[in-house]
C-alpha cells in the first residue's frame, strides 16, 4: 500500500522570518524553517531576514528577500551597476575576506558530506585570494540582443545590456560602445537558440596582460555579415586591438564557437606568459580566465609535486598543456594526455615555442593512453589531473591506482566531484595530505582547488 506524501503547509505569498546560516554558489542564502530548507536570493549567512515565499516544494522553499532585520558586518555595497540582475557574478554583496572563507567552507563541507572525510579542518588551507577583485578576466563572452550586448540574467537567457564590465582585464567602455552601435546599424538578425533562426550569435573578447585585445564575432553563416565598417571603426578607435576575426557556428544549441575561424585582420592569436612560459591563445583555446591567479595555482601544483628533476609526470586532462609545460623544467619527463584534438595541437605548439623537449602529448582518453604508455615502459612518479566539472572517469581513477603512483595532485573546478574522487582514491590506499582552495573568480561562487594525495605504504 502506497503512503501519500504529506504536503507542507506553506503557500506562495506567505511571509517568514528566518536566520541565514549558509550561502550557495548561486548567491542564495540558506536557512531552515520547520524542517524545510529555505533559499533566499540576496541574503547572507549571519543575517535574519524577512522573505515572501515564491516557490513551494516538498523538501524546500524559495523566498524573495523583503527586508533584512539583522545585517551581517561582511555585507558590502556591490561595486557593479548591473548586480544582481546580471548573472555573471553572484557574491558581489559579500566582502572579499568573507568570500574567501565561504569558499574554504564549501570545499570542507563537500569533503566531509560527500567524501566522508573527518578531521580535515587542519588540512584545508585558507583560500588563496586574488590580488584584485576587479579587472581580472582575460576573456568575455558577450551575448547579443536587440537592446545591446551583455550577459544573461541569472537563471535565464534574457540578455542584460551593459555599457561596461568591471571584471574584464582591460577597460571596455569604448569597445562595448562600438560593438553596440555596429549591432544596431548592421541589422543582422540575432540568433535564437530555441528556434535556430537568426545569424549573429555572440562576441568573444580576449586580452593579455600587455593590454592586447582580440575580438571575434560569432555568426551562424557569413551570409549578410559585412564586417568592413566594424573592422575600420575598431582599428581607428582601439590601438590595443591586434586581432579581429569571425567564427562560423552553424550548429543548433548553446555551444559558443564553431570549428571555422576566419581572420579579418591582425594575428590569429595573442600571447600570454604563465610562470615564465609563453602561450599562444586563439579564440577557441582553453586558457585560465584569471591569469594572475592561474600563476599562483600552477605554482601550488608545482610545490605539491615537489619535483627533483628525476620524476616522470603524467598530466591528465592536460588541455593546451599549460600545467605540464610549466612543470617540465623540474621533471625528467612529462606526458600530457587530452581528448580534444585542437587542444593537443595547441599544446604541441606551446611546447615547441618554449623549446621544451622533455614533454610529449597524446590525444585520446586519459585512462586508455595512460595504460598504453605504462605498458610501453613509461614510469608514473607523479600524476596531475585537471578534469572538467564532472570529475575524473571512474576507469581513470582505477588506472591511476593500478599504476601505484606515489603522488597525485588533483586540480578541481568542482568541490563536489573532487570530494567524490578523493574518496575513491582514499579507499584505494591514498591519504589526503593537504587542500588549497583558490579564488579564481572573485564576486562569484566558483572555487578552484588543488589537493595533494599520497600513497600509503602498507
- Considering the domain architecture, whether residues 329 and 393 belong to the same structural domain is answered as yes
Query: Between the ranges 147-156, 254-263, 278-287, 300-309, where is the mean pLDDT highest?
Result: 300-309
Q: What is the pLDDT of residues 218-227, one digit of tens each?
A: 999 988 888 8
Classify residue 1: in a domain, yes or no: no
Q: What SS3 state is found at 248?
A: strand
Q: Final residue of a domain: which of 48, 70, 92? A: 70
Give the total number of structural domains in the chain. Answer: 3
The reply to whether 240 and 369 lie within a common domain is: no
Give the pLDDT of residue 186. Answer: 86
Tell me: do 252 and 202 sit in the same domain. yes
User: In a 3-state reduction of DSSP, which class is residue 80?
Assistant: coil
For residue 39, tell me if it sits in a domain.
yes
Domain containing residue 170: CATH number? 2.40.50.1070
**pLDDT the model gives residue 173:** 85
In this structure, are 259 and 326 located in the same domain? no
pLDDT at 148 over 50: yes
CB-based contact 331:312 (threshold 8 Å):
yes
Q: Report pLDDT for 1.
A: 45
Cβ neighbours around 389 below 10 Å, total: 10
- Same domain for 313 and 449, yes or no, is yes
232 and 144 within one domain: yes
Residue 172 has pLDDT above 90, yes or no: no
58-78 confidence digits (pLDDT tens) = 999 999 999 999 999 999 999
One domain, residues 324 and 444: yes
223 assigned to some structural domain: yes
pLDDT at 269 over 50: yes
Q: pLDDT > 70: what percent of the chain?
A: 98
Determine, yes or no, domain membership for 176.
yes
C-alpha cell at 446: 566558483
386 marked among binding-site residues: yes
Q: What is the pLDDT of residue 199?
A: 92
Instruction: Say whether 360 sits in a helix, a strand or coil.
Output: strand
- pTM for this one? 0.92
Lowest mean pLDDT segment, chosen from 96-100, 278-282, 359-363: 278-282
Same domain flag for 341 and 382 = yes
Average of per-residue pLDDT across 80-93 = 93
Q: What is the mean pLDDT of residues 200-211?
A: 93
Look up the CATH number of the domain holding residue 302.
3.40.50.150
- In this structure, the dihedral spanned by the alpha carbons of residues 390, 391, 396 and 401, taken in order and rounded to 10 degrees, is -150
Mean pLDDT value of segment 327-340: 96
Domain final residue, candidates 274, 300, 329: 274
Out of 239, 274, 309, a domain closes at: 274
pLDDT for 5 equals 47
Least confident among 63-72, 153-162, 372-381: 153-162
> What pairing do the DSSP bridges indicate for beta strands 159-161 and 200-207?
unpaired
147 is in an annotated binding site: no
82 marked ligand binding residue: no
Q: Please tell me the distance from the alpha carbon of residue 312 to that of residue 16, in angstroms, as a whole number.
A: 59
Residue pair 85/79 in contact (Cβ under 8 Å)? The answer is no
Residue from 326, 413, 422, 424 carrying the catalytic annotation? 413
Q: Answer yes or no: do 307 and 403 share one domain.
A: yes
Q: Which of 29-38, 206-215, 281-290 has the lowest mean pLDDT?
A: 281-290
Q: How far apart are CA 180 and CA 148, in angstroms?
A: 5
> Cell 578541481 maps to which residue?
412
Annotated binding residue 122: no
Same domain, 295 and 444: yes
Q: Quote the mean pLDDT of the chain.
A: 93
CATH number at residue 38: 2.40.50.140
> What pLDDT score was predicted for residue 458?
54
Of 182, 146, 152, 149, nearest to 164 (Cα)?
149
pLDDT of residue 6: 54
Query: What's the pLDDT tens digit per position in 384-438?
Result: 999 999 999 999 999 999 999 999 999 999 999 999 999 999 999 999 999 999 9
The verdict on 296 and 438 lying in the same domain is: yes
Whole-number pLDDT of residue 71? 97
Please check whether residues 258 and 315 belong to one and the same domain.
Answer: no
* Annotated catalytic residue 413: yes
Helices in 161-240 by DSSP H: which ranges? 173-186, 228-237
The pLDDT confidence band at residue 228, using thresholds 50, 70 and 90, is confident
Domain that holds residue 63: 14-70
In a domain, residue 420? The reply is yes
Amino acid at each position: 500500500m502506497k503512503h501519500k506524501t504529506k504536503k507542507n503547509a506553506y503557500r506562495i505569498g506567505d511571509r517568514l522570518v528566518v536566520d541565514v546560516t549558509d550561502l550557495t554558489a548561486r548567491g542564495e542564502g540558506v536557512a531552515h524553517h520547520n524542517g524545510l530548507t529555505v533559499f533566499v536570493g540576496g541574503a547572507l549567512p549571519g543575517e535574519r531576514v524577512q522573505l515572501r515565499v515564491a516557490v513551494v516544494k516538498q523538501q524546500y522553499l524559495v523566498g524573495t528577500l523583503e527586508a533584512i532585520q539583522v545585517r551581517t558586518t561582511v555585507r558590502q555595497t556591490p561595486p557593479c551597476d548591473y548586480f544582481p540582475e546580471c548573472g555573471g557574478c553572484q557574491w558581489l554583496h559579500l566582502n572579499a575576506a568573507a568570500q574567501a572563507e565561504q569558499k574554504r567552507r564549501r570545499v570542507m563541507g563537500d569533503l566531509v558530506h560527500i567524501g566522508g572525510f573527518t578531521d580535515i579542518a587542519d588540512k584545508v588551507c585558507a583560500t588563496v585570494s586574488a590580488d584584485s577583485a576587479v579587472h581580472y578576466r582575460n576573456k568575455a563572452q558577450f551575448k547579443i540582443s536587440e537592446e545591446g550586448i551583455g550577459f544573461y540574467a541569472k537563471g535565464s537567457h534574457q540578455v542584460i545590456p551593459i555599457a561596461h564590465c568591471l571584471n574584464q582585464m582591460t577597460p571596455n567602455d569604448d569597445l562595448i560602445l562600438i560593438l553596440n552601435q555596429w549591432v544596431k546599424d548592421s541589422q543582422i538578425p540575432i540568433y535564437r537558440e530555441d528556434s535556430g533562426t537568426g545569424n549573429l550569435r555572440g562576441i568573444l573578447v580576449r586580452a593579455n596582460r600587455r593590454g592586447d585585445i582580440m575580438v571575434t564575432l560569432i555568426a551562424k553563416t557569413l551570409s549578410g555579415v559585412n564586417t568592413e565598417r566594424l573592422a575600420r571603426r575598431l582599428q581607428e578607435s582601439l590601438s590595443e586591438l591586434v586581432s579581429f576575426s569571425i567564427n562560423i557556428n552553424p550548429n543548433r544549441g548553446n555551444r559558443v564557437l564553431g570549428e571555422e575561424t576566419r581572420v579579418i585582420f591582425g594575428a590569429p592569436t595573442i600571447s600570454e606568459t604563465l610562470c615564465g612560459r609563453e602561450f599562444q591563445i586563439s579564440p577557441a583555446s582553453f586558457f585560465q580566465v584569471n591569469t594572475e591567479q592561474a600563476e599562483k595555482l600552477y605554482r601550488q601544483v608545482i610545490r605539491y609535486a615537489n619535483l627533483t628533476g628525476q620524476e616522470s609526470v603524467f598530466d591528465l586532462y592536460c588541455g593546451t598543456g599549460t600545467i605540464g609545460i610549466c612543470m617540465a623544467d623540474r621533471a625528467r619527463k612529462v606526458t600530457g594526455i587530452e581528448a580534444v584534438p585542437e587542444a593537443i595541437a595547441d599544446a604541441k605548439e606551446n611546447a615547441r615555442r618554449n623549446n621544451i623537449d622533455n614533454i610529449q602529448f597524446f590525444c585520446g582518453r586519459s585512462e586508455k593512453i595512460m595504460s598504453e604508455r605504462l605498458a610501453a615502459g613509461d614510469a608514473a612518479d607523479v600524476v596531475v589531473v585537471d578534469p572538467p566539472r564532472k570529475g575524473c572517469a571512474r576507469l581513470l581513477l582505477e588506472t591511476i591506482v593500478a599504476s601505484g603512483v606515489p603522488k597525485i595532485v588533483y586540480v578541481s573546478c568542482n568541490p563536489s566531484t573532487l570530494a567524490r574522487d578523493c574518496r575513491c582514491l582514499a579507499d584505494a590506499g591514498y591519504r589526503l595530505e593537504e587542500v588549497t582552495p583558490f579564488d579564481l573568480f572573485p564576486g562569484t561562487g566558483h572555487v578552484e582547488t588543488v589537493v595533494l594525495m599520497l600513497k600509503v605504504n602498507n
